[in-house]
Structure 1
Amino acid sequence: MLYLLAAVGAITVGVLLWRAFGVQAASVSSRQGGTIAPDDDPEFLRRLDEHRKRGDAGDDPKS
């Protein structure tokens, strides 16, 4: 039983050390350029807000 607990403890310590000092996954912020979704594009959101404040109907055929 003692060997089982020691093995579980050693595996736990090994996994924690691997997660702390192992190869880090690429972060999303490192992505330069590329396509940005409209809801993540600050310029698009600014223009949309200005459009909404002016009360423009846009492409809505009902107005």
Structure 2
Amino acid sequence: MLLQLQRRSDSDLLRPGEVAMIFGVRPATVARWSQEGRLAYTLTPGGHRRYWWAEVRKLLKYEETT
């Protein structure tokens, strides 16, 4: 899975479940992080959250340093 993450483009969009898998948390936690402003997101036309890989990577780096 790590190899797949390294090959992503910064503009790739991830689903909440994918982000949750990366961090080892539940999708509800990812939703809470976005509501708290910790993780930027965009909405699909249907109103579903999607997360930019670049933003996920930033949070990963932050989590590693704390």
The answer, yes or no, to whether TM exceeds 0.5 is: no
Which structure has more helix as a fraction of its residues? 1
Q: Flag the structure with higher strand content.
A: 2
Scaled by the length of structure 2, the TM-score of the pair is: 0.24
> Rg bigger for which structure?
1
